[in-house]
């Protein structure tokens, strides 16, 4: 991965014809942000599948990350022998490389402004496949502004990947905003009587790479709890970021998203995400609900 004083190298994947203006504009913004862009050369589609696959892999290996733009046209098949579009072909090769090299990152950009437009069936299947298989070190974004998207890419790539603490086996991983520490501590104290708990207070604007730590710790955790009291504006986008970072619906550890019902503005913060149970309940009931969820997981593992 590039260090803070080095240029970030980005492999920018191919797109269907409809998204080429978007890709070209994004390329200009990436360059203005000081990043080096790596493309697949125009002659690559003339070679056979095996050679094309190796050529794509060689280009991706030169980069610190890859960016894949999703549109609503599937695009032409790469050749007569392969039904996949070039953009899909490149995405799965990038994914394969990432499985072998965990320092590599994949950024998927699906601008919010086009989501409701007509979409080809084949492309919809591809997008659903991508969304359902988000894994560690993959970032899925609906950000409309390419400038903000690029800044997100830059921020993530330049962040200090420092270890917050050691990874441990635990029953419950309890995550909260540091502003809610007093309320969280009361719940954690009660839950600690029935299960092993590891807690993490998030300090906003901290340089600590919380998401990477959560992605590692969740693999050793039976139940992830994300709690909020007065910090709902932080919590809702945060749980989505955690979901994306930890593998989305494919993550084996369920998430319990708990909001305190005593805060009036929390009443409409119920979210609908696969593998996430979202509840707005009284803080007095939270230890019991956490125990119920944990018992379900333990019983499931016994069957």
Residue range 85-124, pLDDT digits in tens: 889 999 989 988 877 765 578 999 999 889 888 999 999 9
**Measured distance CA(280)–CA(262) in Å, rounded:** 9
Cα separation values, 190 from 134, 279, 286, Å: 34, 19, 9
pLDDT of residue 211: 85
Name the token pair of 75: 């695009």
The CATH superfamily holding the domain 170-302 is Response regulator (3.40.50.2300)
What is this structure's pTM?
0.53
Name the token pair of 182: 């007093």
For 163, phi then psi, to 5°, come to: -75, 130
Class of domain 9-158: alpha beta
The DSSP line for 17-55 is: GGGHHHHHHHHHHHHHTTPEEE---GGGGGS-HHHHHHH
Low-confidence ranges of the chain (pLDDT < 70): 1-6, 42-47, 79-82, 101-103, 159-165, 205-208, 303
SS3 125: helix
First CA to last CA distance, the chain: 42
> CATH 3.40.50.10140 residue ranges in the chain?
9-158
> CATH 3.40.50.2300 residue ranges in the chain?
170-302
Alpha helices for the chain (secondary structure H): 20-32, 49-61, 86-100, 121-131, 146-158, 181-191, 210-217, 232-245, 286-302
Closest CA to 160 of 194, 196, 207, 99: 207
pLDDT of residue 86: 87
């Amino acid at each position: 991965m590039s260090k803070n004083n080095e240029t970030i190298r980005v492999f920018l994947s191919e797109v269907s014809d409809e998204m080429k203006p978007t890709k070209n504009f994004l390329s200009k913004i990436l360059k203005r942000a000081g990043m080096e862009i790596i493309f697949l050369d125009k002659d690559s589609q003339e070679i056979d599948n095996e050679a094309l696959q190796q050529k794509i892999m060689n280009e991706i290996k030169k980069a610190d990350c890859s960016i894949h733009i999703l549109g609503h046209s599937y695009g032409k098949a790469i050749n007569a022998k392969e039904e996949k579009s070039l953009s899909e072909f490149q995405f799965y090769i990038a994914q394969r490389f990432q499985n072998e090299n965990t320092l590599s990152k994949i950024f998927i950009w699906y601008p919010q402004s086009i989501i409701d437009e007509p979409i080809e069936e084949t492309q919809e299947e591809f997008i659903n496949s991508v969304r359902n298989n988000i894994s560690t070190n993959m970032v899925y974004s609906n950000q409309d502004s390419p400038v903000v998207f690029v800044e997100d890419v830059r921020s993530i790539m330049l962040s200090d990947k420092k270890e917050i603490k050691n990874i441990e086996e635990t029953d419950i991983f309890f995550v909260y905003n540091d502003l809610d520490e007093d309320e969280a501590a009361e719940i954690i104290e009660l839950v600690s009587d029935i299960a092993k708990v590891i807690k993490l207070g998030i300090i906003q604007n901290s340089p600590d790479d919380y998401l990477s730590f959560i992605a590692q710790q969740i693999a050793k955790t039976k139940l992830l709890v994300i709690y909020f009291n007065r910090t709902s504006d932080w919590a809702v986008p945060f749980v989505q970021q955690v979901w994306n970072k930890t593998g989305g619906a494919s993550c084996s550890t369920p998430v319990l998203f708990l909001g305190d019902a005593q805060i009036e503005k929390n009443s409409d913060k119920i979210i609908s995400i696969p593998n996430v149970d979202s509840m707005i309940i009284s803080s007095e009931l939270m230890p019991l609900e956490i125990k119920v969820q944990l018992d379900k997981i333990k019983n499931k593992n016994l069957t």
